[in-house]
């Protein structure tokens, strides 16, 4: 019987079985940022411990950095204190930091792949739930809490319970104007926001294998929104080509051996899975969330649910969502007016996202009264976009062009919703209060759909603006 990628990477990184019966798993790459690491470093100091392999940990700053002006010291003294903490910690413990004085700064899940740090067959941990993003490369990547950040810093290991694997096959080709974001929203709608608890998701099928690495990252990124801590795609030529030549990629001399090593992790033809499901990718359209969790979505030409027609277990949650959003059950989602449009985040802040959104923005104007912002996922994404003139396309259309950071995805920085504002957002969470105002509302969708909503002032089918 063959093995799947999770089993192979797990075995390769197993240090031992712990007395608890859990696995002591070695972490090949540890990524840290300013929010979930300071307490972990403090514990190292209290316990008199060092960082075991500083060369396997990389730091950047993303959650709290302002995207308007990144001048130091920050106006927000709490944020400034966190910046000083990560700078001091990295210096003291010998960890490489892509800080605000470094061209490589950006959102941690954009930076890792961009630098060639994220590689197939690896185990990757970071104190951030969207670490599943890195699974796009055939890595086992997952979010951890601060105590576990401490564990990885001092031992390069974690105590892990076993994971099951669910293979999710997405068949067919996606229609024009339908993106990775639409696929993952459909998967979460289908399997539920807790359907993946205890599972790693293996994404496969024609729709996935024909995707670029950036699209695969958008899919894997939101695995956690379906409850799956890990999501991955088997590595292939697309993966290797993306990595080749990046700063931390293996050298040309070692390249063939590295590819052979990576290939050995791909799930075997006869691998077994704990569960398998299939979804017809060719039948999907653009999706938009209407509720307060990422599983509550509908196709842009569809209607909000009628509560009495939902399965009993979903009714309370749907009623709560409709009340919070102030939406009528059964109403169409298209035509919902928006106040804010946000393009960015670790889900959809990469160059291909900006290129697609710019197609819609080109020669059009943001609707009066809509605040629209584009926030590149990293400085390198920003530089690339500027070299292609995308920033001008956006600014001429009335979008604000910002500096790299997490921005309005999670509102730990000055970018926040106000009051009851409703935001069309390319980010990953539509939880109550997620975008900074306790009563603010979020509709998740692809960056192209956000750009179209910014221009129309309401939710519209972006395919009408994409042309042929």
Partner 1 sequence: MSESRITGAAGRGIPVRGDDIDTDRIIPARFLRCVSFEGLGEHAFEDDRKNFSDGIHSFDREEFQGASILVVNDNFGCGSSREHAPQSLMRWGITGIIGVSFAEIFFGNCVANGVPCLTLDSSQVDEIQGMIEGDPGCQLELDVENRSVHAGENTYPAGLPDGVQRAFLEGLWDSATLLLDASAAIDEVNARILPLQEQS
- Complex with partner 1: residue 29 or 444, whichever CB lies closer: 29
- Complex with partner 1: residue 210 or 324, whichever CB lies closer: 324
Alpha-carbon gap, residue 342 to 338, rounded angstroms: 11
Three-class DSSP category at 78: helix
Give the DSSP per-residue string, 323-360.
Answer: HHHT--TT-BSTT-B-SEEEE-HHHH-SHHHHHHHHHH
DSSP assigned state of 458: B
Q: Which of residues 299-358 bind partner 1 (CB under 8 A)?
A: 316-317, 320, 323
Query: Of residues 3, 68, 93, 146, which one binds partner 1 by CB under 8 A?
Result: 146
Stretch that binds partner 1, among 171-179, 371-379, 390-398, 429-437 (CB under 8 A): 429-437
Phi, psi (degrees; rounded to nearest 5) at 71: -65, 140
3-state helix, strand, coil in the chain (%, to 5): 40, 20, 45
Query: Of residues 72, 194, 365, 418, which one binds partner 1 by CB under 8 A?
Result: 194
183 near partner 1, rule: CB under 8 A = no
- Complex with partner 1: residue 69 or 319, whichever CB lies closer: 319
Alpha-carbon gap, residue 175 to 195, rounded angstroms: 26
Query: Of residues 108, 178, 333, 411, which one binds partner 1 by CB under 8 A?
Result: 411
Asked whether 412 and 83 are in contact (CB, 8 A), the reply is no
85 near partner 1, rule: CB under 8 A = yes
Q: Least CB distance from residue 335 to partner 1, whole Å?
A: 26
Query: Of residues 3, 12, 87, 392, which one binds partner 1 by CB under 8 A?
Result: 12
- Complex with partner 1: residue 281 or 405, whichever CB lies closer: 405
Phi, psi (degrees; rounded to nearest 5) at 311: -60, 145
Query: Of residues 107, 158, 300, 465, which one binds partner 1 by CB under 8 A?
Result: 158
Stretch that binds partner 1, among 145-153, 206-214, 340-348, 396-404 (CB under 8 A): 145-153
Q: Least CB distance from residue 92 to partner 1, whole Å?
A: 14
- Report the 10 Å Cβ neighbour count for 77: 9
Stretch that binds partner 1, among 14-22, 357-365, 372-380, 454-462 (CB under 8 A): 14-22
Helix (H) / strand (E) containing 207: helix 206-209
Q: Least CB distance from residue 197 to partner 1, whole Å?
A: 6
Q: Which of residues 373-402 bind partner 1 (CB under 8 A)?
A: none
Q: Which of residues 214-253 bind partner 1 (CB under 8 A)?
A: 224, 227, 229, 247-251
49 near partner 1, rule: CB under 8 A = yes
Question: Among positive and negative, which fits the CA dihedral 211, 217, 219, 220?
Answer: positive
- Report the 10 Å Cβ neighbour count for 136: 33
94 near partner 1, rule: CB under 8 A = no
Q: Which of residues 54-83 bind partner 1 (CB under 8 A)?
A: 55-56, 63-64, 76, 78-79, 81-82
- Complex with partner 1: residue 332 or 433, whichever CB lies closer: 433
35 near partner 1, rule: CB under 8 A = yes
Query: Buried b / exposed e across 310-331, counting CB within 10 Å, b at 16+?
Result: eeeeeeebbeebbeebebebee
Q: Which of residues 96-135 bind partner 1 (CB under 8 A)?
A: 117, 119, 122, 127-129, 131
205 near partner 1, rule: CB under 8 A = no
CA distances from 356 to 11, 221, 289, 451 (A): 40, 19, 20, 9
Query: Of residues 105, 156, 221, 425, which one binds partner 1 by CB under 8 A?
Result: 156
Alpha-carbon gap, residue 223 to 199, rounded angstroms: 10
């Amino acid at each position: 019987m063959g093995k799947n990628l999770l089993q192979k990477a797990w075995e390769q990184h197993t240090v031992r079985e712990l007395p608890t019966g859990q696995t002591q798993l070695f972490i090949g790459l540890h990524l840290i940022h300013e929010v979930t690491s300071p307490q972990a470093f403090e514990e190292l100091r209290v316990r008199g411990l060092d960082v075991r392999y500083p060369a396997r940990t990389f730091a950047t700053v993303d959650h709290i950095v302002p995207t308007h002006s990144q001048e130091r010291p920050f106006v927000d003294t709490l944020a400034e204190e966190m910046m000083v903490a990560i700078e001091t910690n990295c210096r003291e413990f010998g960890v490489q930091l892509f800080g605000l004085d470094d061209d490589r700064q950006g959102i941690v899940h954009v930076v890792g792949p961009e630098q060639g740090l994220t590689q197939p067959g690896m185990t990757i941990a970071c104190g951030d739930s969207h670490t599943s993003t890195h699974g796009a490369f055939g890595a086992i990547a997952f979010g951890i809490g601060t105590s576990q950040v401490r564990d990885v810093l001092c031992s390069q290991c974690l105590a892990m319970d076993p994971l099951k694997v669910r293979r999710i096959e997405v068949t067919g080709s996606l229609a024009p104007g339908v993106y990775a974001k639409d696929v993952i929203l459909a998967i979460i709608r289908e399997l539920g926001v807790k359907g993946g608890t205890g599972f790693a998701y293996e994404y496969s099928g024609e729709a996935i294998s024909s995707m670029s690495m950036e699209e695969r990252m958008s899919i894997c990124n939101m695995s956690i929104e379906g409850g799956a801590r890990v999501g991955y795609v088997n590595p292939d030529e697309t993966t290797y080509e993306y990595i080749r030549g990046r700063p931390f990629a293996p050298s040309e001399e070692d390249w063939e051996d590295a590819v052979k090593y990576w290939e050995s992790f791909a799930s075997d033809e006869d691998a077994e899975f704990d569960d398998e499901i299939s979804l017809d990718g060719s039948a999907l359209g653009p999706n938009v969330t209407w509720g307060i969790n990422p599983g509550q979505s509908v196709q842009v030409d569809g209607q909000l649910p009628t509560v009495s027609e939902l399965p009993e277990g979903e009714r309370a949650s749907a009623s709560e969502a409709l009340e919070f959003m102030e939406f009528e059950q059964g109403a169409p989602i298209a035509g919902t007016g928006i106040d804010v449009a946000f393009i960015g985040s670790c889900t959809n802040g990469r160059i291909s996202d900006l290129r697609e959104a710019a197609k819609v923005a080109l020669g059009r104007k943001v609707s009066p009264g809509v605040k629209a912002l584009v926030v590149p996922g990293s400085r390198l994404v920003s530089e690339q976009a500027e070299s292609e003139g995308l920033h001008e396309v956006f600014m001429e259309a009335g979008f604000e062009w910002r500096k790299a950071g997490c921005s309005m995805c999670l509102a730990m920085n000055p970018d926040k919703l106000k009051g009851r504002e409703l935001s069309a957002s390319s980010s990953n969470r539509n939880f109550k209060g997620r975008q900074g105002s306790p009563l603010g509302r979020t509709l998740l969708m692809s960056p192209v759909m956000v750009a179209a909503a910014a221009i129309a002032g309401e939710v519209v089918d972006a395919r009408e603006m994409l042309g042929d």
